[in-house]
């Protein structure tokens, strides 16, 4: 089945340990699209790649529920951040029938990643970039729209080396930009590319803007400019942001992209339909500003 497990050393200091808090049951999983957006969701008439990214939170206990959500999303390729050996065991047990190709780089804390794929997918590189805490991943897959290169990332959180979130907020933008610059430099420029994952920064962050400056396009803001991909509760106070992204180069396009509002992680999944840049589209028949993907709890 192509399972692969690795261990690695992370740059993350031991104080970086986010414990998962139960965020409550969300009754319906909805793919948000067209909410305060420039584009409306469309379905390609032919070949496409459905890709998802999700930081599952390494301390999360709702692994079976996460597997149910992944199954309902039914993406061709799913890139996961913060996986570990326990997550691997659960994902393999619950999803091996749907995803025969799985790769894992496990970590005891937040540095692990996994990819679940319906199609053969191979690792091209895995390395810690610059002053990042967690490795970045370069993958390659033969898809119905051609050979694609995928970069999967979990960039440096806004925390200083001494553990200060305040200082880190003002000093880590350049670190994330350095990580993504190093990743982009190692990717094969001859192949159409997608970069996904937990960037730990908003749409206006330095890493995202660097990729846009390199000719890549941020998928989610085209369909949903306001939806948050992360939330955290400090007592009665709810913090939220858009920390997760899917970017693609000019040889590709997306016909739909949205936030899947489900799961027990502090992050929500993002789901996108990727097509060749010249692919003809037909409008999706739906009303309102959201597309249900049919998950009920």
Confirm whether 99 is domain-assigned: yes
Confirm whether 255 is domain-assigned: yes
- Region 17-41 average pLDDT: 43
pTM of the model: 0.84
Domain carrying residue 108 = 28-289
Query: CA-to-CA distance for 129 and 1, rounded, in angstroms?
Result: 29
275 forms bridges with which residues in the sheet? 253
pLDDT at position 279 is: 63
- Region 209-224 average pLDDT: 97
Q: How many domains does the chain have?
A: 1
Confirm whether 10 is domain-assigned: no
Of 100-109, 121-130, 233-242, 276-285, the least confident: 276-285
Q: Is the predicted pLDDT of residue 123 greater than 50, yes or no?
A: yes
- Region 53-71 average pLDDT: 93
Per-residue confidence band for 108, with pLDDT thresholds at 50, 70 and 90: confident
Could you please report the per-residue DSSP string of 78-109? Answer: EEEES--HHHHHHHHHHHTTT--EEEEE--SS
- Region 88-94 average pLDDT: 97
Confirm whether 146 is domain-assigned: yes
Q: Is the predicted pLDDT of residue 97 greater than 80, yes or no?
A: yes
pLDDT at position 288 is: 33
Confirm whether 120 is domain-assigned: yes
Q: Is the predicted pLDDT of residue 242 greater than 70, yes or no?
A: yes
Q: What percent of the chain has pLDDT over 90?
A: 67
Q: CATH code at 260?
A: 3.60.10.10
Confirm whether 112 is domain-assigned: yes
Q: What's the chain's average pLDDT?
A: 84
Confirm whether 1 is domain-assigned: no
């Amino acid at each position: 089945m192509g399972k692969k497990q690795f261990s690695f050393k992370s740059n993350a200091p031991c104080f970086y340990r986010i414990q998962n808090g139960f965020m409550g049951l969300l009754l319906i999983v909805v793919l948000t699209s067209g909410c305060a957006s420039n584009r409306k969701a469309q379905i390609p008439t032919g070949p496409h790649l459905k890709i998802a990214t999700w930081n599952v939170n390494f301390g999360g206990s709702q692994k079976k529920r996460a597997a149910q959500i992944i199954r309902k999303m039914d993406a061709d390729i799913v890139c996961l951040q913060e996986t570990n050996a326990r997550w691997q065991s659960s994902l393999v047990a619950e999803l091996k029938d749907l995803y025969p190709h799985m790769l894992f780089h496990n970590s005891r804390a937040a540095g692990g990643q996994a990819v679940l794929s319906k199609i053969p997918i191979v690792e091209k590189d895995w390395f810690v970039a610059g002053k990042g805490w967690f490795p970045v991943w370069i993958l390659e897959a033969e898809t119905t729209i051609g050979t694609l290169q995928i970069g999967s990332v979990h960039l440096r959180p806004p925390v200083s080396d001494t553990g200060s979130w305040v200082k880190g907020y003002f000093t880590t933008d350049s670190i994330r930009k350095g990580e993504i610059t190093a990743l982009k430099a190692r990717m094969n420029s001859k192949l159409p590319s997608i970069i996904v994952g937990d960037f730990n920064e908003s749409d206006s962050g330095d890493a995202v803007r660097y990729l846009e400056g390199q000719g890549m396009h941020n998928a989610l803001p085209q369909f949903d400019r306001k939806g948050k991909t992360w939330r955290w509760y400090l007592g009665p106070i709810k913090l939220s942001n858009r920390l997760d992204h899917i970017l693609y180069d000019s040889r590709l396009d997306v016909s739909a992209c949205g936030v899947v509002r489900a799961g027990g992680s502090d992050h929500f999944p993002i789901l996108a339909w990727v097509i060749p840049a010249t692919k003809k589209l037909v409008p999706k028949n739906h009303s309102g500003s959201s597309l249900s993907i049919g998950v009920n709890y």
